[in-house]
Amino acid sequence: METYKTIEEARGHAKNKNIATHIIQIDTKNETGVYICAKCSAETLRKCKPITEIKRIIGDVVDLAKEKYEEKENKKQKNIPGLTELEKIIMDWDYYQKGFRSMMENEMNDGVFPPKRPEIEVAEVAKKYPAAAAYVKAGNWSMASNLAKSATGDKAKKAIESGTNYKAAITQMEKEWAAHCDKNKWN
């Protein structure tokens, strides 16, 4: 496979080599995109669908994936009230802590220009939205380096997403982890 700057270069190469080719424009943002000249036999060209059909199919697949993702996110938002708000507060505090650390490490800024501290505490929002707090806890467990702990976190996270009682999901998650720890304490 070879790349060319212009469509004329790609077509010239195809004529000079006397082979059947597909010429595909990769960068369609501007008219001076990169073109690829893919060599194919005549038999392959007869069996292949035209490039426009392939591009349409890929577009349909992307649209379908986007719809499924949005549907999943909407369901999650419906089953877990306050999740967006809690995640935003957590990100705000992360940003504040990184800025504060950066300020303390900078010798030229010894606290003169500190970052703005978030007004709302994470604990307040977690208390207000316990299902969202449980989902975040399960999400943290799902990122654990221990595979058993990660698996229990994933299971609880999916249960909370599907609408299961968050208290039951977290209790089950902690029971499974405790059972695993008891079973493997001498390993």
Is 76 a member of any domain? Answer: no
Considering the domain architecture, whether residues 34 and 87 belong to the same structural domain is answered as no
Considering the domain architecture, whether residues 121 and 97 belong to the same structural domain is answered as yes
Q: Tell me if 35 sits within 8 A of 5, measured CB to CB.
A: yes
Is 6 a member of any domain? Answer: yes
Considering the domain architecture, whether residues 90 and 110 belong to the same structural domain is answered as yes
Cα distance between residue 149 and residue 140, in whole Å: 10
For residue range 145-178, what is the model confidence (pLDDT) as tens digits? Answer: 999 999 999 999 999 998 889 999 999 999 999 9
Please state the domain count of the chain: 2
Considering the domain architecture, whether residues 101 and 40 belong to the same structural domain is answered as no
* pTM given for the model: 0.64
The range of the structural domain enclosing residue 52 comes to 2-71
**Residue 37: exposed, middle, or buried by beta-carbon count in 10 A (0-12, 13-18, 19+)?**
buried
Instruction: Name the pLDDT band for 65 (thresholds 50, 70, 90).
Output: confident
Considering the domain architecture, whether residues 97 and 166 belong to the same structural domain is answered as yes
